[in-house]
């Protein structure tokens, strides 16, 4: 790699040790000046970062199928090794810490926060999935955290009197850490996509504000406090182009004074890229990569003269950190027993492909039955699958249920007319990758292929008939802005929308246990 000044990079002693240790790192250098002979002595401050751990403690697999990689226990080993090499360090996480594994769910996420505390993290940032379990559980995590939780663009609305009271006082826009004699400001941001995925009940009055406005204010404060470098931990990540949830390019274009942007949310391994003279880095997901930033300062002038970013694959070169494993082992063992439990037998193959598949039908039936047991009768369920494929004959376990439904997503009910329900189905029909179905109705398309009628038990459903529908909270909030008409219909006062206390995976497991046999 070449400096932007055109001078070749010098390999530091730390870099030689990393190379000799056999690390495979993707590294790049972004400007900030050259370590020329006329400058004074150099000092490097290193920042270690994880993101989108999603409760993964032990090794897992990549989306592409590479096995035995990642997990927080390996990241901890890497971080400890880096700390032994570098005396001046910070350690941060960029969000989506707790949701995603049975062991984390069982502890309410406290296990992951306890591990952060044990490893001495300096800060972590709220991700969208950190709100998934509702405000009460999130407040427990905030209160338990020994370090600041940094999120500059989140407020609590009038629905929560008192504003940032109690545990929410732990959520700060930014913090300043003096490391090696230099003041490093760290500013947190959460994705502005929150309201399009999570209902108000789960957000607990929290609202995501404009990240550019919040960042500009925090940078101004940090620079006024004489920060030597400004680092942003943003739960918004790398994309080919900005989108509503990841406006990274526009934010860094509009806000001056940022030196480093650490990204999350989009589950990409992007070791180093530069936007508007800001060095950016993203360390994938599930601890599959661990990231590092090296900031080199001139001791005499206090200027930031060098910036370097890289990520390292957490494969079997890294042992599982014994302290992390000792703390997590009881929970991991209990989760393993739970996951192995059989919930039903599949008697014949159940298709999981396409609209109206056997798996989607099964999910809708079980959701309706669970709601009925809890006193809510629904006329229809609007739901699809998560692309897990067909179910094969044989025992079906709790682990299989986690594959079928990977998210804790609450069931929402609402009262709509048949005409409004048809509009919901028609909107979804435009989504090429959707396999949602409206159970138990038949959807009849017109000559133009657009859904035009609903039929039930052989008869047309009158357009003005009011029906109670169930769907998951994510779809009710717009399904990531792909179901905005649905969102508007359900937001009308006449819809009497309610978020139930029932999550879809629990409904699946309970329903299968009740049936015993499917297919």
Question: Of 245, 295, 413, 234, nearest to 42 (Cα)?
Answer: 295
Q: Does 79 share its domain with 187?
A: yes
pLDDT in tens, 225-245: 999 999 999 999 999 999 999
Domain-terminating residue out of 335, 352, 381: 335
Grade residue 165 by pLDDT with cuts at 50, 70 and 90: low
Give the Å distances, CA to CA, from 148 to 170, 177, 179, 187, 244: 6, 11, 16, 11, 27
* Claim to verify: residue 354 and residue 328 sit in the same structural domain: no
Nearest to 431 by CA among 372, 362, 360, 480: 480
Cross-strand partners of 297: 43, 304
320 and 362, same domain (yes or no): no
Kindly list the distances between the CA atom of residue 350 and the CA atoms of 10, 354, 401, 435, in Å, as whole numbers in the listed order. Answer: 59, 12, 14, 15
| Distance of alpha carbon 62 from alpha carbon 445, whole angstroms | 40
Residue finishing a domain among 270, 300, 335:
335
CA–CA dist 395, 401 (Å, integer): 11
Domain contains 60 = yes
Q: Are 226 and 267 within one domain?
A: yes
Predicted pLDDT at 20: 35
Are residues 189 and 318 both part of a single domain? yes
In a domain, 36, yes or no: no
| Residue 12 clears pLDDT 60, i.e. is over it | no
d(CA 319, CA 332): 17
d(CA 122, CA 192): 24
Asked if 229 and 367 sit in the same domain, the reply is no
Domain membership flag for residue 70: yes
Q: How confident is the model at residue 446 (pLDDT cuts 50, 70, 90)?
A: confident
Q: What is the mean pLDDT of residues 124-134?
A: 97
Q: Dig out the tokens for 221 from the structure.
A: 């404060």
- Phi first, then psi, for residue 415 (nearest 5°) are -105, 120
Range of the domain at 99: 42-335
Q: At what angle do helices 110-119 and 72-85 cross, to 10 degrees?
A: 10
pTM (2 d.p.)? 0.91
Q: What pLDDT is attached to residue 3?
A: 31
> How many CA atoms lie within 13 Å of 305's alpha carbon, on the beta-carbon side?
20
How many independent structural domains does the chain possess? 2
Tokens (6 digits) for 500: 């139930």
Identify the pLDDT of residue 162: 41
Q: Which pLDDT tens digit goes with each residue over 38-81? A: 567 999 999 999 999 999 999 999 999 999 999 999 999 999 99
Looking at the domain assignment, is residue 317 inside a domain? yes
Whether 23 is in a domain gets the answer no
To which residue do tokens 């400007």 refer? 31
Is the pLDDT at 221 greater than 90, yes or no? Answer: yes
pLDDT band at residue 28 using 50, 70 and 90 as cut-offs? very low
What angle do the packed helices 504-515 and 358-373 form, to 10 degrees? Answer: 90
Q: Are residues 351 and 284 in the same domain?
A: no
Tell me, yes or no, whether 329 and 349 share the same domain.
no
What does the mean pLDDT of the chain come to?
92
Cβ–Cβ under 8 Å, residues 209 and 154 = yes
Q: Say if residue 512 is in the same domain as residue 368.
A: yes
Instruction: Say yes or no to pLDDT of 163 above 90.
Output: no
Which CATH number fits the domain that encloses residue 148?
3.60.21.10
Q: Do the domain assignments include residue 105? A: yes
Backbone angles phi, psi at 147, to 5 degrees: -115, 165
Q: In what order do the strands lie in the sheet with 380-383?
A: 437-439, 380-383, 466-472, 410-417, 498-503
Spatial separation of the C-alpha atoms in residues 363 and 88, rounded to whole Å: 52
Instruction: Assess if residue 480 is contained within a domain.
Output: yes
Rounded mean pLDDT, 456-483: 97
- In a domain? residue 260: yes
pLDDT, tens digit, for every residue of 492-505? 999 999 999 999 99
Task: Give the 3-state DSSP-derived string for 431-452, with helices as H, strands as E and coil as C.
Answer: CCCCCCEEECCEEEECCCCCEE
Q: Is 383 helix (H, G, I), strand (E, B) or coil?
A: strand
- Grouping H, G, I as helix, E, B as strand and the rest as coil, residue 484 is helix
Cα separations (Å) of 216 from 93, 158, 211, 253, 258?
A: 21, 24, 8, 11, 9
Query: Which domain-ending residue is among 282, 306, 335?
Result: 335
Residues 217 and 301 in one domain: yes
């Amino acid at each position: 790699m070449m400096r932007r000044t055109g001078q070749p990079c010098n390999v530091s002693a730390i870099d030689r040790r990393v190379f000799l240790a056999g690390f495979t790192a993707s590294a790049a250098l972004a400007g900030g000046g050259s370590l020329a002979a006329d400058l004074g002595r150099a000092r490097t401050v290193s920042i270690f970062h994880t993101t989108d751990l999603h409760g993964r403690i032990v090794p897992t697999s990549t989306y592409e199928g590479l096995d035995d990689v990642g997990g927080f226990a390996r990241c901890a080993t890497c971080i400890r090794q880096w700390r032994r090499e570098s005396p001046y360090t910070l350690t941060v996480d960029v969000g989506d810490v707790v949701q995603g594994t049975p062991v984390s769910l069982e502890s309410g996420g406290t296990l992951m926060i306890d591990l952060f505390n044990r490893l001495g993290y300096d800060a972590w940032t709220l991700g969208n999935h950190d709100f998934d379990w509702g405000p009460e559980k999130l407040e427990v995590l905030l209160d338990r955290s020994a370090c600041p939780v940094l999120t500059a663009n989140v407020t609590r609305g009038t629905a929560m009197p008192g504003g940032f009271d109690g545990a929410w006082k732990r959520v700060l826009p930014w913090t300043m850490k003096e490391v090696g004699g230099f003041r490093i400001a760290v500013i947190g941001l959460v994705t502005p996509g929150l309201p399009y995925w999570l209902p108000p009940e789960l957000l607990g009055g929290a609202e995501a504000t404009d990240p550019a406005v919040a960042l500009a204010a925090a940078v101004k404060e940090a620079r006024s406090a004489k920060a030597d470098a400004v680092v942003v931990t943003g739960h918004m990540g790398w994309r080919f182009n900005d989108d509503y949830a990841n406006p990274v390019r526009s934010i860094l274009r509009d806000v001056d004074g940022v030196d480093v942007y650490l990204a999350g949310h989009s589950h990409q391994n992007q070791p180093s890229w530069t936007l508007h003279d800001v060095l950016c880095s993203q360390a994938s997901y599930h601890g599959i990569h661990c990231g590092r930033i090296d900031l080199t300062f001139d001791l005499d002038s206090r200027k930031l003269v060098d910036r370097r970013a890289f990520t390292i694959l957490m494969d079997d070169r890294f042992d599982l950190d014994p302290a992390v494993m000792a703390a997590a082992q009881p929970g991991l063992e209990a989760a393993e027993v739970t996951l192995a439990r059989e919930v039903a037998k599949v008697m014949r193959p159940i298709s999981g492909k396409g609209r109206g598949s056997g798996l989607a039908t099964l999910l809708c039936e079980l959701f309706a039955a669970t709601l009925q047991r809890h006193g809510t009768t629904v006329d229809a369920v609007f739901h699809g699958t998560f692309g897990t494929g067909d179910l094969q004959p044989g025992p079906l376990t709790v682990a299989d249920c986690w594959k079928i439904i990977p998210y804790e997503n609450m069931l929402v009910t609402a009262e709509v007319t048949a005409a409004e329900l048809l509009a919901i189905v028609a909107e979804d029909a435009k989504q090429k990758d959707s396999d949602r179905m409206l159970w138990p109705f038949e959807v009849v398309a017109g000559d133009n292929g657009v859904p035009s009628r609903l039929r039930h038990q052989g008869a047309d459903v009158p357009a003005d008939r009011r029906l109670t529908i169930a769907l998951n909270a994510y779809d009710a909030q717009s399904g990531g802005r792909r179901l905005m008409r649905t969102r508007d219909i359900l937001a009308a006062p006449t819809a009497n929308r309610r978020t139930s206390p029932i999550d879809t995976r629990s409904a699946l497991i309970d329903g299968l246990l009740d049936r015993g046999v499917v297919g």
